[in-house]
Structure 1
Amino acid sequence: MSDSGSDGEAGESFGQEVPPLVHLLKDILERYPEGGQILKELIQNADDAGATEVKFLLDARENVYGTERLVKKSLRKYQGPALYAQNNAVFQREDWDGIQKPYRSVKKDDPMKVGKFGIGFNSIYHITG
């Protein structure tokens, strides 16, 4: 009988597995309301980055860009309406690291930052492919 209290071998390590990224993102999307929340998150991220200007441009045009020069024909369905977001802050390495780590905020220890939970930027998946 092993001391571990399980059917595994003595000394066998135990640990929880991390769910696939797609499952994490699905969970984030289920928690976020659709609509203006995405704009709010982009503004908060710009503020956290020190931006003093944030601009949005909605291009609702369809079939104006052509599809003959796309890398893949399957990208044709993405040629259409678009929301462009721009701010005047410089994207830092920390920002890049942060958007790659759902639920692990790189801002949590900074009291001057709005983003604390590591989920805000991922709300943009509501409006992307």
Structure 2
Amino acid sequence: VQAEENKIRQVVTNLIGNAVRFTPAGSPIELATVVDEAAREARIEVRDHGDGVPPQIREKIFQRFWRADTSRTRETGGSGLGLAIVSAIVAAHRGRVDVVETEGGGATFRVILPLLPSSDSSTTSMPSAPAAPAS
């Protein structure tokens, strides 16, 4: 994937931030990255165990300043820009982002980015996660 590392980091940070805001305390949040050579794409998935995203608002949540009118939204705050920023960054990298219902409750946000042609395999790796602070 040819990408601006700081922009991809912002995508992941925004998705995890939303998952934290909308997942009950103590519930897991999962992050997965997969490089699918056959499909020529890399995927980043953030799965939460919150209330999920109803089908009728799945397209709206990527619009600037759009916020669901729920008690959890009112108590957690937010500007309504996080997912719009995610969508814009992913689109600028010729990718796509979507959200699907997670079996058992919650939502999975999936970012799909194209891999470079195999002739340029030296730059087809995902940016690495930041190192853990030294103890």
Normalising to structure 1: TM-score of the pair? 0.47
Higher strand share: 2
The higher relative CO (CA closer than 8 Å, separation ≥ 6) is in 2
Query: Which of these two proteins has the greater Rg computed from alpha carbons?
Result: 1
TM-score, with structure 2 as normaliser:
0.46
